[in-house]
C-alpha cells in the first residue's frame, strides 16, 4: 500500500487557461538571461545607485558621498551595472558621469518601486 505522499496527484483533463492566453512559455535560454539580469538587480547597493541615477547624472565621487560608501565600492557596483547595460557613462575631460542606460531602466525601477508601495 502506497503512502499518501508517494501517490501521484490526479491529472486534470480540462484546460483552465483563459481562451486569450496564447503562446509558449519563455525558452530556457531567454529565461536564463532574464534571471541573470534580475540577479544583477538583487543587490541593495546597486538598487540605491539606480535610485540616485534616476534623479540625475552623477560622477563616482557624488554617488559615493550620496550612499556614504567608498568610491572603490561604487566603481565596482557601477561596473556590474554597466556590464548588464543598466547604466552608461560619458567622459568630460577627466570626469566620468554615469546615468541610467535608457528609459526602460527608469521605467522598471519606477514600476517596481510603485508596486512595493501599494
**Confidence class of residue 17 from pLDDT cuts 50, 70 and 90?**
low
pLDDT digits (tens, 9 = 90+) for 28-81: 999 999 999 999 999 999 999 999 999 999 999 999 999 999 999 999 999 999
pLDDT digits (tens, 9 = 90+) for 76-103: 999 999 999 999 999 999 999 999 999 9
Angle (nearest 5°) at CA 110 between 31 and 48: 90
Check: CB of residue 95 under 8 Å from CB of residue 59: yes
Domain boundaries 34-117, CATH class = mainly alpha
Domain ranges of the chain: 34-117
Amino acid at each position: 500500500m502506497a503512502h499518501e505522499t508517494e501517490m501521484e496527484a490526479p491529472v486534470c483533463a480540462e484546460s483552465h487557461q483563459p481562451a486569450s492566453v496564447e503562446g509558449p512559455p519563455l525558452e530556457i535560454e531567454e529565461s536564463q538571461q532574464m534571471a541573470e539580469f534580475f540577479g544583477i538587480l538583487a543587490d541593495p547597493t546597486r538598487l540605491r545607485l539606480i535610485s540616485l541615477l534616476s534623479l540625475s547624472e552623477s560622477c563616482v565621487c557624488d554617488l559615493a558621498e550620496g550612499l556614504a560608501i567608498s568610491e572603490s565600492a561604487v566603481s565596482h557596483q557601477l561596473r556590474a551595472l554597466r556590464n548588464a547595460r543598466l547604466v552608461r557613462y560619458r567622459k568630460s575631460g577627466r570626469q566620468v558621469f554615469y546615468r541610467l542606460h535608457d528609459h526602460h531602466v527608469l521605467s522598471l525601477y519606477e514600476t517596481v518601486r510603485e508596486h512595493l508601495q501599494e
